[in-house]
Amino acid sequence: MAVPNRRPTVLVIDDEPLVRGVVRRALEPEISIIEAPDGEDGLALLDRGVTVDLVLTDFKMPSIGGLQVMAVLTRYRPELPIIGMTGHADPALREGAAKFGVRVLQKPFEIGTLLVSVREVLAESRDGRSVSGRKRGGVGKNALGARTGRLVAAAKKLTLGKNAPC
């Protein structure tokens, strides 16, 4: 949750440097940006205790993709809001995100749409409201365990097969 008198921090996870740069330019100076080139690096930052107020993640990335990031964060960090971004028209991606209550931006998106979405989700989180339909949860034992380096390991255990949660 955002702390008053502090700029919110958004973790942008995308394997396209151009997209990360566009998001950075659109959101700064209002919001601090931390970048990660894939889901593994993004989750590793969170494993190391980096504090963020929102995760903005691409879906299709090498190693650990956006749906895996959503699955792990929804389980271990339910208080952390997520927005997904995709340039793919695959309805299964949107359905997967919907299972986690994650808002999705279709690439290419308008800068205004990005700003509105980020501001709305941050406001929902700050005000303690449900984040885009996701259940709000406290920090349980799973969340505490995740903060000691288990997010990446949990994501690697997920498979994107029929029986996987994502």
Domains along the chain with CATH numbers: 9-157 (3.40.50.2300)
Rounded CA-CA distance 145/100 in Å is 20
pLDDT at residue 130 in the model:
58
pLDDT at residue 4 in the model:
58
Query: How many of the other CB atoms lie within 10 Å of CB of 157?
Result: 11
pLDDT at residue 96 in the model:
86
Structure tokens at 96: 């997967």
Q: Are 155 and 43 in contact (CB under 8 A)?
A: yes
Rounded CA-CA distance 122/154 in Å is 26
Q: Are 12 and 20 in contact (CB under 8 A)?
A: yes
Question: Does 78 sit behind a cis peptide bond, omega within 30 degrees of 0 on the bond before it?
Answer: no
pTM for this model (two decimals): 0.83
Select from 21, 3, 79, 22 the least CA-distant residue to 46.
79
Tens digit of each residue's pLDDT, the chain (166 residues): 445 568 999 999 999 999 999 999 999 989 999 999 999 999 999 999 999 999 999 999 988 999 999 999 999 999 999 999 998 878 888 888 989 999 999 999 999 999 999 999 999 988 876 555 454 444 443 444 444 468 998 898 875 443 344 4
Structure tokens at 121: 């989700």
Q: Are 105 and 117 in contact (CB under 8 A)?
A: yes
Rounded CA-CA distance 113/49 in Å is 30
